[in-house]
Amino acid sequence: MGVLNVTPDSFWSGGRHAALDAAVAAAEAMLAEGADIIDVGGESTRPGARGVELAEEVRRVLPVLRTLKRRWPAAVVSVDTNKAGVARAAVAEGAAILNDVSGLRGDPAMAAAARDAGAGLVLMHSRGGVAEMASYELARYGEDPVGEVVSELRSSRDTALAEGVAPAQIVLDPGLGFAKRTEHSVAVLAGLDRLLSLGHPVLVGPSRKRFIGELSGGLPPEQRLEGTIAACVAALLRGARIFRVHDVGPVRRALDVADEIRKRATP
Ligand code: HH2
């Protein structure tokens, strides 16, 4: 899953494509490099980011989505939003997946939007609102952080099911770096089997995040590609199947090799 941020303020400048032409060119490059999904997002969750009004988010996301679907009708496009209004407008333009970083906490109508469209629904673990969810403010856990993440995601999943979303529509994401210090992101990756036990495919989004920098001795975002690849490969071997990344080519090449070995490994 290639990240296409149509925002002026996302944390990694290499993933920011606010102008339509730049966004379409970036999507074309990611598709050529082997992306199976393009994830279009119009609202940054970087710590302290100002929330975006519905109309502004629609204005950012829709023209890009429309252009992508016109140029590549078979492309699978997801929309990274926690607003049901954006989600409904996006599926009307051909988005196949709704990626909700709030795990249905942001807008209770999101599940119905996924249900009515028959769209895929990514439920990511986070805590708090947009401005604080990617900070350490709410990274307060007891003895079993992974257990807390799994149980909070289970309740998001149960809300989706209660709203009539089919189990096969749902993908779960531990929300790396969201209300998680480095130790918590590492713990959820190491304990991915506990999330998989809920019975849904798992998506991970480690791309160039702060925990990767911290684990590599304090590197800035531009030097976090190798760490990103390592996290994706480790997650693949722990059962993740969708990888949300800025650098589609390098990650795809690494995962193709690792996956071949995984498939042939003796149990
Ligand atoms: N991470 C970000 C945004 N959306 N969605 C899912 N499912 N999983 C993630 O880990 C995830 C996500 C944050 O990264 P990015 O989009 O690069 O930054 P920003 O929020 O600043 O636009």
pLDDT tens digits for range 126-160: 999 998 998 999 999 999 999 999 999 999 999 99
**Residues facing residue 39 across a β-bridge:** 3, 78
Within 6 A (CB) of ligand 1 lie: 3, 5, 7, 10-12, 15, 41, 44-46, 80, 99, 101, 122, 124, 173, 175-176, 203, 205, 244
Catalytic residues: 209, 244
Best mutation site among 5, 210, 245 for ligand 1 pocket (most ligand atoms within 8 Å of CB):
5
- The answer to whether 49 touches 267, Cβ cutoff 8 Å, is no
- The Å distance, Cα 43 to ligand 1 centre, comes to 9
Q: For 94-115, what is the mean pLDDT?
A: 97
In this model, does residue 229 exceed pLDDT 80?
A: yes
> Is pTM beyond 0.95 here?
yes
Nearest to 207 by CA among 187, 221, 186: 221
pLDDT at 119: 98
pLDDT confidence bin for 47, thresholds 50/70/90: confident
pLDDT at 15: 76
- The Å distance, Cα 79 to ligand 1 centre, comes to 11
- The Å distance, Cα 255 to ligand 1 centre, comes to 20
Q: Which atom of ligand 1 is nearest to the CA of 205?
A: 10
pLDDT at 162: 98
Q: For 91-115, what is the mean pLDDT?
A: 97
What would you report as the CA-atom Rg of the chain, rounded to the nearest whole angstrom? Answer: 17
Q: For 238-266, what is the mean pLDDT?
A: 97
- Which residue CA neighbors atom 13 of ligand 1 most closely? 45
- The Å distance, Cα 264 to ligand 1 centre, comes to 32
Instruction: Report CA torsion sign: 175, 181, 184, 185.
Output: positive
Q: For 32-41, what is the mean pLDDT?
A: 98
Please give the Cα distance from 202 to 171 (Å, whole number): 6
Q: For 13-38, what is the mean pLDDT?
A: 93
If you count DSSP H runs as helices and E runs as strands, how many of each does the chain have, helices first?
10, 8
Per DSSP bridges, beta strands 203-204 and 120-124 are: unpaired
